[in-house]
Amino acid sequence: MEMRSKEFKSRAVYYIHDGALQKAMGMLRDGFVAKRTQQAAELPEFEALREEAKNLKNHILDHLDHYLTRYEAAVKASGGHVHWARDAAEAREIILGICRRVHAKTVTKGKSMVSEEIGLNEALIENGMDVVETDLGEYIIQLADEPPSHIIAPAVHKTKDQVSDLFEEAHGTERKTTVPDLVNEARQVLREKYFRADVGITGGNYLVAETGSSVIVTNEGNGDLTQTLAKVHIVTSGIERVVPRLDDVTLFLRLLARSATGQETETYTTFSTGPRRADDKDGPEEYHVVLVDNGRSKMLGGRFREMLRCIRCGACMNHCPVYGSVGGHAYGWVYPGPMGSVLTPLIKGLDNAYDLPNACTLNGRCGSVCPVKIPLPDLLRELRHMQHRQKITPAIQRHALTAWRFAATRPKLYHFGEKVAARLLALAGRRKGRLRKLPLAAGWTDARDLPAPAGKTFLEQWQKQRGGQ
Amino acid sequence: MSTARDEILGAIRGALGRGQLDDVTRAKLDAVEHAHIRPAFEGDLVERFVRKFESRAGTVTRVAKLSDVPKAVEAHRAQWHLPKRAAVGAALHKLKWAAGWEIHFDAAGIEETLSVSLAVCGIAETGSLLFASGPESPITHNFVPDDQVAVLPVEHIVKWFENAWPILRQREDGMPRATNIVSGPSRTADVEQTVQLGAHGPRRVHVVLVG
Ligand code: SF4
């Protein structure tokens, strides 16, 4: 997928003025956010589960090589194949190789963020395959030729009217205008595809080392039809998704549905283990798992290890005020919101996503809802430091910060500067009590006024008040 | 030649600042059984299962014995005006069907409207059904037809997910190709966050509790 994170600022402005998007974002707040709050409140153990999930993820990451090799052995024992991919290109080649070998014409896909990350669809289409996204949200954005704008609800930015337009054009049928009619039309169209598919590709929420199973969690059942009716089932998953035992899956299941869609459970949780057995009447003849590194092992070694705990629930973006006003497309790649602002620079390079860590207001809501307690604001702050050190931060900001630091570590100089500034600003804004323009801060004052200070610094007033007591 | 596998595992070990773990350590790790917090709840498991399953738009009826199942299926069929045809799990092959019913034990085809399947167990915690695939219970029965009737003996209702895993572990042939945990009919909220039942899987899931 084309990478457009460098255009964050201009795209953000565009989406803030997009009425349809703003309407959709309002529904997101009323939906997922309210439901998650209710679910968390109804489960007294919720906070304890978060702590436990964090600790278990840390344990897994500390022994990642062990659990991966154990998982690999279990997959093989059940008749499946495991492939390892260092990066996106290698993952695409592996999957293309399997598809070519079985002369695949139609490839159905369940929702998989890793497949978005590795740019799989484009590669399959370039090689002449008919690729069909089967998750309703993914299907909608495939018709619109857009990337997902949310990791759980990829078409959350689309209104019903827009979906009606897309279906009318793609299906050549009478325009449907109600949600039941739209869903039903997609159901009929996609049904044909499942039965025709040669290869079905799904993600893997968890990989169970104990049994060699991959797990998907859905509400629609599309992932199950995808992987059951195709001749070959391919799973794409990040190397960090392995868990030791079935009991460990339970822990994450209890957190995932509540955090993601505000439900106690999603409708379908499916464990896939190997291909169909000898006497089975259905199921795929081949089962492949592609384990994708793509920057993850590097993340494991540095300050961003904690990011590998992510279970891709989307709660951080649902609760992010910046995401809530600009939507997912402004972020310019596959992972939006707070988790995307950490992952995108780490996977695609710091200088390719300069604005993402800087768009954060550090309000802290993402970190406080994350089911695996990833300190997202801290990681975003760390990325800003790295940008500064690597001189990716624009020169003017860098110099201003260096000057500020010079002064801030010298209290006398700092207080003197403060006094001067407070008096100057008070003087400049004395008539209206606010400032329309501020040198070097046009970006801020273009959109709002700065209240003029009182003319004395806080410290001066504090000391005066204390002196008076 | 170093393979992708070796390189990735090497990079992981490098990041963790150590070499490959020795066999003793590995065996110790495998012996660890992390026990996790379970949501506390009291009361009758059957009552909870029914309440939770119905809260997710599933429906439930109760019969005294297994031979009553066809009658319950007939009631569901009549209510929704379905044809008298069903894909039935071979685990239920002993059921006697009234005249006029067309019954088969194969996988469900694209035109299939109704299936009747035996659940391995019900999980009271969330009101979920667990199916294990095999020659006697094809996976397509759980996803292709518009209507699925799930047969669940009351004694197969367990409290938590954790009580279901040993049942899978004790199977002679290990984990089946597909273990499907189903909590009500298929649904989507992908159009304007409006919940709509019957996205791709069954529009209705009807449980017949036996006993
Ligand atoms: S960072 Fe946390 S809240 Fe965000 S998607 Fe990942 S697990 Fe969910």
> What CATH number is attached to the domain comprising A129?
3.40.50.10420
Rounded to the nearest angstrom, the distance between the alpha carbon of B162 and the centre of ligand 1 is: 25
Q: Is residue A308 part of a domain?
A: no
Q: Is residue A112 domain-shared with residue A86, that is, in the same domain? A: yes
Q: Is residue A357 domain-shared with residue A421, that is, in the same domain? A: no
What is the average pLDDT across A110-124? 95
pLDDT at residue A322 tops 80: yes
Cα separation, A358 vs A385, in Å, equals 11
Cα separation, B170 vs B118, in Å, equals 18
Q: Is residue A241 domain-shared with residue A161, that is, in the same domain? A: yes
Structure-model confidence comparison of residues A359 and A367, the more confident one: A367
Q: Which residues 400-439 of chain A have a CB within 8 Å of chain B?
A: none
What is the average pLDDT across A12-40? 84
Q: Is residue A210 domain-shared with residue A341, that is, in the same domain? A: no
B128 contact residues in A (CB cutoff 8 A)? 265, 269
Average pLDDT, chain B: 96
Contact A267, B185 (CB under 8 A): yes
The number of domains in chain A is 3
By C-alpha distance, which of A349, A426, A431, A423 is closest to A390? A349
pLDDT at residue B22 tops 80: yes
Q: Is residue A144 domain-shared with residue A216, that is, in the same domain? A: yes
pLDDT at residue B159 tops 70: yes
pLDDT at residue A443 tops 90: no
Considering only CA atoms, which residue is closest to atom 6 of ligand 1? A310
pLDDT at residue A432 tops 80: no
Contact A148, A337 (CB under 8 A): no
pTM, to two decimals: 0.90
Cα separation, A340 vs A319, in Å, equals 14
Q: Is residue A305 part of a domain?
A: no
Cα A255 to the chain's mean position, in Å? Answer: 17
pLDDT at residue A119 tops 80: yes
Q: pLDDT tens digits, residue range A362-407?
A: 899 999 999 999 999 999 999 999 888 887 666 666 666 676 667 6
Q: pLDDT tens digits, residue range B101-137?
A: 999 999 999 999 999 999 999 999 999 999 999 999 9
Residue of A nearest to B30 (CA): A244
What pLDDT shows up at residue A3? 79
Own/partner long-range contacts of B61-64 (Cβ < 8 Å, ≥24 apart)? B61/B206, B61/B207, B61/B208, B61/B209, B62/B208, B62/B209, B62/B210, B63/B208, B63/B209, B63/B210, B64/B210, B64/B211
Contact B157, B62 (CB under 8 A): no
Domain ranges for chain B, please list them.
1-32, 45-210
| Angle of helix A376-389 versus helix A337-348 axis, rounded to 10 | 40
Contact A65, B20 (CB under 8 A): yes
Q: pLDDT tens digits, residue range A225-265?
A: 999 999 999 999 999 999 999 999 999 999 999 999 999 99
Cα separation, B154 vs B163, in Å, equals 15
Cα separation, B191 vs A178, in Å, equals 10
Mutation target vs B (from A207, A267, A299; most B CBs, 10 A cutoff)? A267
Say yes or no: A155 contacts chain B, CB-CB below 8 A.
yes
Q: Is residue A137 part of a domain?
A: yes
* A53: DSSP letter: H
What is the average pLDDT across A446-468? 66
Cα separation, B10 vs B19, in Å, equals 8
Q: Is residue A253 domain-shared with residue A176, that is, in the same domain? A: yes
pLDDT at residue A442 tops 80: no
| Angle of helix B23-31 versus helix A64-77 axis, rounded to 10 | 80
Q: Is residue A82 domain-shared with residue A228, that is, in the same domain? A: yes
The topology under which CATH files domain B45-210 is: Rossmann fold (3.40.50)
Cα separation, A319 vs A410, in Å, equals 39
Give the end of a domain, one of A233, A263, A297.
A297
Contact B181, B133 (CB under 8 A): no
Hey, CA dihedral for A192, A257, A116, A13, is it positive or negative? positive
What pLDDT shows up at residue B21? 97
Cα separation, B63 vs B43, in Å, equals 22
Q: Is residue A245 domain-shared with residue A105, that is, in the same domain? A: yes
pLDDT at residue A411 tops 80: no
Domain that holds residue A388: 1-42+314-393
Say yes or no: A240 contacts chain B, CB-CB below 8 A.
no
Is ipTM > 0.85 here?
Answer: yes
Q: Is residue A205 domain-shared with residue A269, that is, in the same domain? A: yes
Q: Given pLDDT bands bounded at 50, 70 and 90, which one contains residue A446? A: low
Give the end of a domain, one of A335, A366, A393.
A393
